[in-house]
A and B are shown apart, each in its own frame.
Chain A
């Protein structure tokens, strides 16, 4: 199998709240730090990819935010303009307003048009070799299949016309596992695990796109080593707790409660993790990113995610 960062195009998806954008940002940063000219793009114009690098807003025009790393956010109207100009050789119309309104209706009426303009932009960047790697912060689990399958859907629905002609090369890039891969981000919780397994299966049946890896985010480390939990249990006995408070020079209950919370959280998550492994089967490529106890969700957290992913990928 082609290594994750050996590919040219990676779609990062996952259930809302699992840290999809964090992982996309970290993965792109890791690639850039290893000398790859990288484009990272978010498909949702209202997204907050920029926060993960703390570089101000991103726009449709890619901008170098870190050496080697270019960031952009999708804007389907801009994408349509670029598409018309570059692909269909239709001159950009001075007044885009009416076109945009019309387009909005076409996009709603024809399933896949909006999606194809979104993925099409990234596929175009890959086809033209503008970057070594393109990382897409794609739609969440509920919508991503529609994005990945858009060129195929358009092909089935549209029998003639320029759009149909364009779908061929798009499908070629999408279906090439040495080039394109999907990364599903999961968290060791009930719904994210269910959705990850479901999505993996849906991608396999409804598209020809390869699932390159499953990133499990927020994995809690085991708090206690062998035999230590018994020691902890003993410390929780009332008389021992009192002695401990005396020795530590302050009330210890909160600290012991916190440890118990950590242990139970870890145990609950371990159960979900086991369920995820079982559900995905032995051939899934799982990468683990630990729970990060960072002060903010900014560039520092992104750097730590990049390092954690780097370790998992053997850098």
Chain B
């Protein structure tokens, strides 16, 4: 991994950032809008920057997947139809492609690539423990997402790849996944497991911890794991080399990270943690995107005074209005909208305060307003993208 480069010119907008990079990784805690912002930024890049742009997404909402034409294609990279852009009223300079990550499929591909021979390949793919492991292995999603990113990037097909990271318990898991995968394959435990049974028994006596492992899990299960990993180990070199290459790409100068968050305390805390981790790992933090931010007018003082008066002076105000409706009904409406304004203002103030804490970060900060309806087509993505692009 390279050291953070002091010479990096400060970037002023997402447009400049995306124009300078080849890989942009959107990360943040669950539910903050990683997928939507990644797709929106990729669409903007295709529209304004040109070239071939790919958005690699993990788990898009169904309607968004439909909008990107991903419904039946899954792991396959698919071009978003130019007609979809035309329908959204824009003419892109470049092409937008999309792909969805199919974890199982990607793992199978990886095995096929690294297996030393067809026998090992088939044995692994048919192994029930493999099926079990890849479905439930805690880090398998994280690893495979980064692995696939590497795969696509090194093929040289795209000018820009925008990635939406998988939902993890911990936002840095996927950063660590390649290193952990390499670690795992070179681990003492795995070596012990995969050594021939006879010498393992001898080893047993001298290693109380393995005795514990054996007592807890039973020797049969350990044997099962051993057999599986014995097969796996034939791919050791390929795997470790690959994991290291993936780690290098994450630290490359052409790669940047965009941290996405809403202005709520837990996602922001996660974002701050993630920003610290990026700095510690000498990875490039390109921008912070704040999603679903309530409009500024909620903090307006004159408006606040008006909202308060709607509450306190409703009868007087209603009486002065030339409306056809019943005065008591108008009074009620005034009180309701006044109260509603003040309620939303409490949330807007909370957001402003949390935002101030994040404001020290010198990178690009882009704000996505609270859209009051869902984004489920290219037009919506472009509408969102336009708010953050420049």
Residue ranges of A at the interface with B (Cβ–Cβ < 8 Å): 15-18, 21, 44, 46, 48, 51, 84, 88, 90, 93, 98-99, 101-103, 105-106, 108-114, 139-140, 142-143, 146, 153, 157-164, 189-192, 194, 223-225, 227-228, 230-232, 234-235, 240, 243-244, 246-259, 261-262, 264-265, 268, 293-297
Q: Is the beta-carbon distance between A223 and B340 smaller than 8 angstroms?
A: yes
Ranked 7 nearest A-B pairs via Cβ: A16-B30, A17-B31, A161-B218, A105-B189, A254-B303, A259-B337, A264-B372
Q: Is the beta-carbon distance between B306 and A232 smaller than 8 angstroms?
A: no
List the A residue with the shortest CB-CB distance to B325. Answer: A231
Within 8 Å by CB of B337, from A114, A223, A297, lies: A223
A102 to chain B: which residues have CB within 8 Å?
189, 209-210, 212-213
Please judge, given known A-B contacts A146-B136, A258-B341, whether A46 and B170 are in contact too, CB under 8 Å.
yes
CB of B248 closer than 8 Å to a CB of A:
no
B295 to chain A: which residues have CB within 8 Å?
257-258, 261
Question: Which bracket fits the contact residues of B?
Answer: 35 or more
CB of B202 closer than 8 Å to a CB of A:
no
CB of B317 closer than 8 Å to a CB of A:
yes
Within 8 Å by CB of B265, from A240, A248, A249, A297, lies: A297
Complex Cα spacing A227 to B329, Å: 9
Q: Is the beta-carbon distance between B297 and A257 smaller than 8 angstroms?
A: yes
Q: In whole Å, how far is B178's beta carbon from the nearest beta carbon of chain A?
A: 14
Q: In whole Å, how far is B375's beta carbon from the nearest beta carbon of chain A?
A: 9
Q: Is the beta-carbon distance between B321 and A191 smaller than 8 angstroms?
A: no
Complex Cα spacing A111 to B213, Å: 14
Q: A158-B220, A293-B343, A295-B346 are in contact. List 4 more A-B contacts (CB 8 A).
A: A105-B188, A111-B136, A240-B322, A252-B306
Contact bitstring B333-356, A, C-beta under 8 A = 1, else 0:
100111011011011011000000
Q: In whole Å, how far is A104's beta carbon from the nearest beta carbon of chain B?
A: 8
Q: Is the beta-carbon distance between B325 and A234 smaller than 8 angstroms?
A: yes
Q: Is the beta-carbon distance between A17 and B32 smaller than 8 angstroms?
A: yes
Within 8 Å by CB of A261, from B31, B210, B322, B344, lies: B344
Within 8 Å by CB of B323, from A113, A231, A293, lies: A231
List the B residue with the shortest CB-CB distance to A187. Answer: B31
Give chain B interface residues in 160-217, CB to chain A under 8 Å: 167, 169-170, 184, 187-190, 193, 208-210, 212-217
Please judge, given known A-B contacts A17-B29, A140-B167, A258-B340, whether A162 and B303 are in contact too, CB under 8 Å.
no
Sampled A-B contacts (23; CB under 8 Å)? A16-B30, A17-B262, A21-B266, A46-B170, A99-B212, A102-B212, A105-B184, A109-B225, A140-B167, A143-B169, A158-B217, A160-B219, A228-B336, A234-B324, A235-B333, A246-B320, A250-B303, A250-B309, A254-B302, A262-B340, A264-B372, A265-B370, A268-B373
Within 8 Å by CB of B61, from A103, A191, A251, lies: A191
Q: Is the beta-carbon distance between A296 and B350 smaller than 8 angstroms?
A: yes
Please judge, given known A-B contacts A160-B218, A230-B325, whether A48 and B317 are in contact too, CB under 8 Å.
no
CB of B71 closer than 8 Å to a CB of A:
no
B332 to chain A: which residues have CB within 8 Å?
225, 228
Q: Is the beta-carbon distance between A105 and B216 smaller than 8 angstroms?
A: no
CB of B69 closer than 8 Å to a CB of A:
no
A240 to chain B: which residues have CB within 8 Å?
321-323
Q: Is the beta-carbon distance between B265 and A259 smaller than 8 angstroms?
A: no
Q: In whole Å, how far is A216's beta carbon from the nearest beta carbon of chain B?
A: 15
Give chain B interface residues in 212-254, CB to chain A under 8 Å: 212-221, 224-225, 229
Determine the main DSSP class of A at the interface with B.
Answer: helix
A190 to chain B: which residues have CB within 8 Å?
61, 63, 374, 376
B217 to chain A: which residues have CB within 8 Å?
106, 110, 113, 158, 161, 163
Q: Is the beta-carbon distance between B209 and A162 smaller than 8 angstroms?
A: no
A15 to chain B: which residues have CB within 8 Å?
30-31
List the B residue with the shortest CB-CB distance to A240. Answer: B323
Please judge, given known A-B contacts A48-B269, A157-B224, whether A248 and B325 are in contact too, CB under 8 Å.
no
Complex Cα spacing A246 to B62, Å: 48
Q: Is the beta-carbon distance between B216 and A162 smaller than 8 angstroms?
A: yes
CB of B1 closer than 8 Å to a CB of A:
no
Complex Cα spacing A231 to B321, Å: 12
List the B residue with the shortest CB-CB distance to A146. Answer: B136
A297 to chain B: which residues have CB within 8 Å?
264-266
Q: Is the beta-carbon distance between B321 and A243 smaller than 8 angstroms?
A: yes
Q: Is the beta-carbon distance between B302 and A250 smaller than 8 angstroms?
A: yes
CB of B139 closer than 8 Å to a CB of A:
yes
Please judge, given known A-B contacts A17-B32, A102-B210, whether A255 and B132 are in contact too, CB under 8 Å.
no
Q: Is the beta-carbon distance between A247 and B374 smaller than 8 angstroms?
A: no
CB of B107 closer than 8 Å to a CB of A:
no
